[in-house]
Amino acid sequence: MKLRQAIHWEWKSLFSSPFLKSIIGVFILASIYGMYKGRQVFLHQKEILAQFHTESETAVAEALQLYQEGKLGPESRPWVNIRTPFYAYLVYLQPLVGLNPSPLMVFSVGQAESFPYFKRVDIFSSPYDHDMVPEISNPERISLGSLDFGLMWIYLLPLVLIACAMRIGSFEREVQLYKLIGTLGNEKKWKVQRFVALAIFFLLLLSLLLFIGWMMGEGQANLVEIGTMGFWAMLYLLFWLVLLFFLSELQLLQTGQALIFFMAWILFALIIPGAVQQAIALQFPNTLSLEMIDAKRSGKTEIYEQEFRITKAKILESHPELDQSLPDSLRTERALEGIYMAAYREFLSEVTRKLDSVQSEKVSRARAWFPINPVSFFHHRLSHLARTDYDAYQQFKQEITHKAEELNFQIFSQEWEGVVVDEKIFLQTKKVLNGNQ
Amino acid sequence: MKSILFNEWKNLLITPGMQIAAFVLMAALGFTAWAGLEEYRVVAQMEGEAKTHLRQQWESMGPSNPHSAAHFGTYVFKKNHALTAFDEGANSYVGRTLYLEGHRQNELVQSDAAQGDVLSRFGKLRPALILQIILPLLLLLFAFQSVRSERDADRLRLLLVQGVSYSKLLYGKLWSLWIPGMGFVLLTLGIQMGLLGFSGPLVSRALLLAVGYGLFYWIVIALALWLSSKTVKSYTALSWLLGIWIVWVIFYPKVTYSVAGILYPLPDRVEFSASMKEDRSALLDGHNPEEEALKVLEDSVLHAYGVTSKEELPINFDGLLMQADEEFGNRVWDKHFGELYDQMQKQKSLVQWASLPNPFGNLQSLSMGAAGTDNFHQVDFLREAEDYRRVFIRTLNERHAYGGSKTGDWGYKEDQEFFNSIADFQYAEPSFPDLIRQQTPSLILLLVWIGLLAIGIYRVQPKLSAL
């Protein structure tokens, strides 16, 4: 039989079975709905971040107006003096750090709903603060997993493939037709052609779904991004088809073949990922962030109780660009306190890095299992591309620490140098703190 | 019935690979039962140590101002229920650390999911994963195979000619699969109970788990037997059964929660915080003495003590002000968090009742509930922690007010003994009757399924003419 004929008959068989028609229909609808859910999360996060960005711009505009009017601060808050770096930047330039959603989130919500995605940073902020809470959601819903395209493609697609392929060879064997097929031609070629027909059908479906997803992401994803997403999704499809083909070589009857196919799904989709997750949890239990609690309590006290001279020497050593000529008596109280604040900030960053390194180690160990955990591997590829995996969150956490360090340094260094903030300095500092935002 | 049972078991045991499969399943359940418990122990030990460490910090704080102590606050850790070792439920997705302080109600942070990759969309390999998803699939397929092989080998015609009732035969098949299925459940619970130590509350929850899984297995097997008997072609029956399993396990639970989210939407975090802030600013703010409410409070206190200024008061008015601020704040938190929790409960109820076509959803709810890992337990913990926070802060504010200092004396300090006298937070899990009340819809719906399938099996007739 020619490939074209095989495709024709296989597709005809797919569309003549009410069961297969229903399951493929449900799969397509669920995938589209999953992309719609992904789009909702994407648009929501984008909207919230835009809202915060507008608030930041409003605060900057308010400060600029005060400078232009030659005022020291807003009338409603007489203690705020915008000529001092401390108030000017802490009140009007608090950086906003956001985990910017990718338009590919339409395809994979991943862990996006488990992570906080915005934070207004102050000088002592850390990614382990008690305001680092994710979007409000019902934890039971999150634990069941978002109904997103990633879930559909990674977990439901293999089941649809199993439903489509569980009769290939086994039915003919059961009704004693297999020998006849062998007599008429090469039975292995015939089986390969049937799997190829399935592959072509699902590749076309994938292309259609990618196009729909691209449209839902407001056409913001570029061709390379969509192509890469499609590449990994296609590899995953091929992985399952090859696996099912080899399993079908076990020459079982219908029930046996169905059972062995489902066992493969259970092994790859449930047992291996679940076992790895369990093993990693045993090795790296929740840190409870106790180190950060200690840092914010006893750690802070200890730093503020250190001898000023020693602390100052350490801080100025790490910032040689700062002026060291003036005696302390000529510096403001806030500039001197800034020494302790800088020391405490450094300490918080150190603890943050320590906690982060434990979590990074946990992630690396988990990913080391990918060669025997293909389902998690492919799932991770999709979430990684959609920036909804731990890597994106880790970047967000690092950005929080970086911005807090920068804000603290700007305030400390300018207080130290006795800078009187005017509009120009304010805008320069804004540029340093916000980068291109 | 007895002979049918023994015959079925004999057939099961001689099925190729069955003994290996049973052994693998037992080993997997044994391992997961142990691994779940081990994780529970490790986490419980860490939490215990962290709690002791933080209490030591509190008890070595030294003389402090009570209001500063309110800002120092305390941390509580969400305690895992011992049966989390059986079913992890939503535990991986909820935070573990809660900061209790003056002026605000915080939320749990640092969930497991935020500390690394979530590799499995079905959770860790815990006994519940095997007993909820894998074992029912096997039972489904064995029940199908049992009916079809009887028919395909034409033994069924012979049995019916000999006067064996078909429904009796099906019931025999049903119990022959249900008993080993339950054996796996009881074995797992037995291992975990044995290692955890038997206690009243634990045993009652374990019994609820056994009942839930027992009902579900009965439904799965009965449905497979009924459908296999009703359909003409083997492939149709198999397709139906596998289709049902896919919809039950993968699709329907997610769809019901999505629908619940649409019908009972939760506020987004920004909206939630903004509305609380707005309501809060409309009331008394203890740090902003310009508000009218302050005047009312001040007048009433001055009147009660018969003095004309705060400075003349024999007490520290600031403490009263802080407490009044707390109580106003509490009203705001109660309103907003209360509405949030109510909305979540509505979602849960909808999901429970909407699981009528999906007994798997009911089992999932029951299993999470009995294991103390559902949202009901989560909210219960948050409520208890908040109750504790209120008592904790009130104790500090009252000491600030009545401890002997005068208004405006922010340098006033209480000795360590006072701080030591404030008890630590102790969490008590919901009572068993409360748990049963919460799970009543799930139990009712499982029983409805049992009733319908019992009638179905009693009335079903085999399709003898077809292959």
- Vertex A22, ends A18 and A24: CA angle to 5°? 120
Structure-token pair, residue B219: 């439904």
Using the beta-carbon criterion (under 8 Å), do B97 and A23 form an inter-chain contact?
no
The values of phi and psi at residue A46, to 5°, are -65, -45
What is the distance between the alpha carbons of residues A211 and A226, in angstroms, rounded to a whole number?
Answer: 9
* C-beta pairs of A233-239 under 8 Å, 24+ apart in sequence: A233/A153, A233/A206, A233/A382, A234/A203, A234/A206, A235/A378, A236/A153, A236/A154, A236/A157, A236/A378, A237/A157, A237/A161, A237/A199, A237/A202, A237/A203, A237/A206, A238/A199, A239/A374, A239/A378
Structure-token pair, residue A289: 């962030």
Which of chain B's residues have a Cβ under 8 Å away from the Cβ of A277?
118-120, 123-125
Query: What interhelical angle do A333-367 and A308-318 show, nearest 10?
Result: 60
| CA nearest neighbour of A419 among A62, A89, A162 | A89
- Most A-contacting residue of B45, B120, B351 (CB-CB within 10 A), to test interface: B120
pLDDT at B325: 86
Which of chain B's residues have a Cβ under 8 Å away from the Cβ of A55?
none
Q: CA B412 → CA B57, B66, B299, B400, distances in Å?
A: 20, 8, 24, 8
Residue type, B447: L
* Residues pairing with B98 in the sheet: B76
Q: How far is A25 from chain B (nearest CA, A)?
A: 12
Determine contact: A362 vs chain B, CB below 8 A. Answer: yes
What is the distance between the alpha carbons of residues B316 and B312, in angstroms, rounded to a whole number?
Answer: 10
Strands B97-100 and B74-77: antiparallel
Give SS3 for B99: strand
Determine contact: B341 vs chain A, CB below 8 A. Answer: no
Determine contact: A54 vs chain B, CB below 8 A. Answer: no
Give SS3 for A13: helix
pLDDT tens per residue, range B98-110: 999 998 899 999 8
pLDDT tens per residue, range A413-433: 999 988 999 999 999 999 998
Q: Which helix (H) or strand (E) holds B77?
A: strand B74-77
What is the distance between the alpha carbons of residues A307 and A297, in angstroms, rounded to a whole number?
Answer: 18
> Between residues 188 and 247 of chain A, which touch chain B (CB distance below 8 Å)?
none
DSSP state for residue B307 in the 8-state scheme = -
What is the distance between the alpha carbons of residues A193 and A187, in angstroms, rounded to a whole number?
Answer: 10
| Tens place of pLDDT per residue across chain A (437 aa) | 677 888 888 888 888 888 889 889 989 999 999 999 999 999 999 999 999 999 999 999 999 999 999 988 898 888 899 999 999 999 999 999 999 999 999 999 988 888 999 999 999 999 999 899 999 999 998 888 778 899 899 999 999 999 999 888 887 777 777 777 767 677 788 889 899 999 999 999 999 999 999 999 888 888 999 999 999 999 999 999 999 999 998 888 887 888 889 889 999 999 999 999 999 999 998 888 899 999 998 899 899 999 999 999 999 988 888 888 888 888 888 888 899 999 999 999 999 999 999 999 999 999 999 999 999 999 999 999 999 999 999 999 999 999 999 999 999 999 998 899 999 999 999 999 887 55
Structure-token pair, residue A63: 């400060």
Torsion sign, CA atoms A310, A315, A318, A322: negative
Q: Which residues of B68-80 are buried (b: 16+ CB within 10 A; e: fewer)?
A: ebbebbbbbbbbb
Structure-token pair, residue A357: 């390194």
What is the distance between the alpha carbons of residues A333 and A340, in angstroms, rounded to a whole number?
Answer: 12
* Three-class HEC string of A223-282: HHHHHHHHHHHHHHHHHHHHHHHHHHCCCCCHHHHHHHHHHHHHHHHHHHHHHHHHHHHH
| CA nearest neighbour of B188 among B225, B141, B134, B224 | B134
Determine contact: A255 vs chain B, CB below 8 A. Answer: yes
Q: How far is B327 from chain A (nearest CA, A)?
A: 22
* Three-class HEC string of A120-180: ECCCCCCCCCCCCCCCCCCHHHHHHCCCCHHHHHHHHHHHHHHHHHCCCCHHHHHCCCHHH
| Tens place of pLDDT per residue across chain B (467 aa) | 777 888 888 887 877 667 788 888 899 999 999 999 999 999 999 999 999 999 999 998 889 999 999 999 999 999 889 999 999 999 989 999 999 999 889 999 989 888 898 888 888 999 999 999 999 998 998 898 888 888 877 777 888 888 878 888 899 999 999 999 999 999 999 999 988 887 888 999 999 999 999 999 999 999 999 999 888 887 788 888 888 998 898 888 888 988 999 999 999 999 999 999 888 877 655 555 456 777 888 889 999 988 988 888 899 999 998 898 888 889 999 999 999 999 999 999 999 999 899 999 999 999 999 999 999 999 999 999 999 999 999 999 999 999 888 888 888 889 999 999 999 999 999 999 999 999 999 999 999 999 999 999 998 887 765 44
Determine contact: B242 vs chain A, CB below 8 A. Answer: yes
What is the distance between the alpha carbons of residues B262 and A29, in angstroms, rounded to a whole number?
Answer: 18
What is the distance between the alpha carbons of residues A382 and A34, in angstroms, rounded to a whole number?
Answer: 14
B50, A290 Cβ separation under 8 angstroms: yes
- Most A-contacting residue of B84, B100, B115 (CB-CB within 10 A), to test interface: B115
What is the distance between the alpha carbons of residues B84 and A302, in angstroms, rounded to a whole number?
Answer: 39
DSSP state for residue B263 in the 8-state scheme = H
Residue type, A331: R
What is the distance between the alpha carbons of residues A216 and A39, in angstroms, rounded to a whole number?
Answer: 6
Give SS3 for B125: coil
A405, A432 Cβ separation under 8 angstroms: no
- Vertex B252, ends B248 and B257: CA angle to 5°? 140
Q: Which helix (H) or strand (E) holds A98?
A: strand A96-98
| CA nearest neighbour of B190 among B175, B207, B169, B173 | B207
What is the distance between the alpha carbons of residues A119 and A123, in angstroms, rounded to a whole number?
Answer: 12
Determine contact: A154 vs chain B, CB below 8 A. Answer: yes
What is the distance between the alpha carbons of residues B318 and B410, in angstroms, rounded to a whole number?
Answer: 9
Torsion sign, CA atoms B452, B349, A140, A388: positive
Query: What interhelical angle do A390-416 and A85-92 show, nearest 10?
Result: 150
User: Model-level pTM?
Assistant: 0.90
Query: What interhelical angle do B166-196 and B2-14 show, nearest 10?
Result: 70
Q: How far is A356 from chain B (nearest CA, A)?
A: 9
Structure-token pair, residue A394: 């880790």
ipTM entry: 0.87
Residue type, A153: W
> Between residues 220 and 239 of chain B, which touch chain A (CB distance below 8 Å)?
234-236, 238-239
Which of chain A's residues have a Cβ under 8 Å away from the Cβ of B240?
19
What is the distance between the alpha carbons of residues A365 and A368, in angstroms, rounded to a whole number?
Answer: 5
Q: Helix (H) and strand (E) counts for chain A?
A: 19, 2
Strands A118-120 and A96-98: antiparallel
Determine contact: A278 vs chain B, CB below 8 A. Answer: yes
Closest CB to B267: pick one of A131, A133, A136: A136
Max CA separation in chain A (angstroms) = 102
Start-to-end C-alpha separation, chain B: 26
Number of neighbours of residue A353 by Cβ within 10 angstroms: 12
* Residues pairing with B109 in the sheet: B97
Using the beta-carbon criterion (under 8 Å), do B123 and A290 form an inter-chain contact?
no
Q: CA B106 → CA A281, A397, B109, B150, distances in Å?
A: 26, 20, 9, 62
What is the distance between the alpha carbons of residues B189 and A279, in angstroms, rounded to a whole number?
Answer: 21
